[in-house]
Structure 1
Amino acid sequence: MAVMAATLTVTFATAPPAAADEGGQCSFPSKPYKGRPWALQRVLLNELWRGTDQGAGVRVAVIDTGVSTEHEQLKDAVDASAGKNLLPKKLKKDESGRAQPRGKSNGTTDVVGHGTKVAGIIAARPAGDTGFVGLAPKATIIPIKQNDSNGSGTAATLAQSIDYAVKARADVINISQDTAEALQPESTLQTAIERALAADVVVVASAGNDGLGGNVKKTYPASYPGVLAVASSDRNNERAPFSQSGDFVGVAAPGVDMISTVPKGGHCADNGTSFSAPYVAGVAALLRAKHSKGADRWSQRNIVAQIEQTAERSTPGHDRLVGWGVVDPVRALTEDERRINRPVAKEGVEKGKKPTPAKLQLGETQQERNERLGTYVLVGGGTLVAVVAGTSLICRDWRRRRGSADSGG
């Protein structure tokens, strides 16, 4: 079964694309995006980066179509010396019968643009002509080219890429591609994932984009135990219609109109869980940077659990649409007083104190009796005052009449 699994084609987790400019497909180079993309507007970046040194020292492997170093925001982010091109020697041909060139051996050729967008969301450096920046803008990208737009990548080359990322000292691995074919536990892909997890590497993978119509199915490697599978959310923090659903989904992250870097410069927008996964990988890089030393070092399991636990939830626990919720980068980096190994359902949901049952009283209560007696006293006191006052008037008039009679006699 392992040999059969190795022949499976690995596809990109990309929904129908959108362009950053008005209308048309994205071209390379493209125009710079002037503003701050919506997916970054939902984050207080200064608060997010406090205590993390913006991910400096953390290495993130991007297993994709390569990462272009021609973009100003990526040229200092990519470790070209550690990159690798693991495309198969025999590449698939497109409809016209042509195959794409394999590109440079270090993985820095990206004619598709997919891997360059993924890398930008993670670690693009700040630039003066745009408000776009990576979530971990001092992290280092390891470019590993394993696929092309014709789907030349296989489960075998993906497994090789994962093993290479571990050897290249990756702290986080981002995989924005998948196969929906059922893979047996002894497949080369799963054993590669298990080796990466055993090496304490955080593995983040896109959940896939076949979710239209409520379709539910497992995708690989996202559904392997230990992998943080990421679905897509929209501007309302709800599941994007295309986003794959399933019990394997760990969290969701923005995946609609995602602005990022493209080869040769500028920015474009795109949709898909391909771009939700690096959003989460950027948060993982910041957590690894913040909790990387001595007794405070967090394992990959701690980092995954923290991201899941602090996600913004629509239900108290896990659901198959957005997992534990939509990732909250600031909360993940600030509510980190203690490490956890797994998320807890109903965390943060306050349970109200049960009311004390009212005591059944068949007759008059003590309070009612006191109120009744008080009323009697008040009414009786008023009556007594009136009687005394009336008696005084009678006596006074009687004395007056008696005095008049005495004077007349």
Structure 2
Amino acid sequence: MPTPVNPPRGMRDHLPADKRRREGVLSVIRGVYRSYGFDEIETPVVEESSRLHSGLGGDNEKQVFAVLRRGLDLDDLRSAESVLGLADLGLRFDLTVPLARFYASHRAELPTVFRSVQIAPVWRAERPQKGRYRQFVQCDIDVLGEAGPLAEIELIQATTAVLEALGLTGTTIRVNDRRILLAMLAHWSVPEALTDQALIVVDKLDKVGVDGVVAELVDLGVTTPGLDDALAQLADASWATGEGDDAPWLDRAAFADLVALRDALPGATLRFDPTLVRGMGYYTGTIFEIAHPDVPYSLGGGGRYDGMIGRFLGSEVPAAGFSLGFERLVDLVTLATDDDEGLALVYDKKVEPVELLALQRELLAGGERRVRLEKKAKNFTNQLDGLAAAGFTRFVTVRGGESAADLEVRTIG
């Protein structure tokens, strides 16, 4: 039997038609973000291992693809306590940690408030499943240096514009604030050491219900009287909460910021969701996530992460970002493919290569955007179907001795 030649699990090949479609969606995303004043940057696919394991990435740090140091020998392998001890680099698991390092490296060359776009692949060594891959593209915008709510407003406005430009309807942006979550846990007397675990449990409220969350919190040692009633109130919370409701777990200042965010974005469909957690440990304030009724997972998310850049720079810099999950998004988007009015030169085998290449150059110089050389096949109908699938809308037949002006252009289909 032949050896399997599939790509590694959780990674995919993209055929030409799929690649064109993906690039079309990316072109729309880039265009919208650029129109809102964001500048695109590029960072390396690898970062120092210590940076990727600095406690900023939550569970994603456990999924880093490690790059082993060069020159290791058998003694190094035997004496190492873990794989991480042998690695000096790792593939990036998101684009936010590299952005923080980038800003720390280039701050003197950047504006006081820097609005960045990064669109690139990231890698996570997790178990592949539907909608989740080991290599996938993220589309990030970030505002660095703006401490006020303008940063979040710009991020949500620009991202909402992207969704509209892609023709994606029915989306909702769920919003919350880490300060609300932390105040809630403090009210429930959750020990600080259990904060991360408790937040993971609360994040399951819409999946396992009040009873399920209470049971898991009790297993953690959280036995606050009236916890079930508090969770039920949490599940029913709305924008009205804080405007007459006496919920003792609510951080009023944080909620006021969310209300201000809503009022500044009347065209966006925002929903306050106090159970929204977001898994990254670096969030410090507002958090948000894109929900769509046709899929059970988010299409992107982000929030404020004021403490991250200071770890690299030595001085605090306010920061907020929004990341689109491109692989999930692209499956929901229907866009017309830009086929560039491609022209195929279908030639007989007797035509000399020098003549074909001269015709191709002449046609390109004359304004054609895409010209392909195609040797005429026995099944010409199937050949034309294949050209149409590849984005070619017209063809000419070359028998030899013609100039570009002599060629009769015909439509495919």
The TM-score, its normalising length taken from structure 1, stands at 0.23
Q: More relative contact order in 1 or in 2 (CA 8 Å, sep 6+)?
A: 1
> Which structure is higher in strand share?
2
Report which of the two has the higher share of helix: 2
Provide TM-score, normalisation by structure 2: 0.22
Larger-gyration structure (1/2): 1
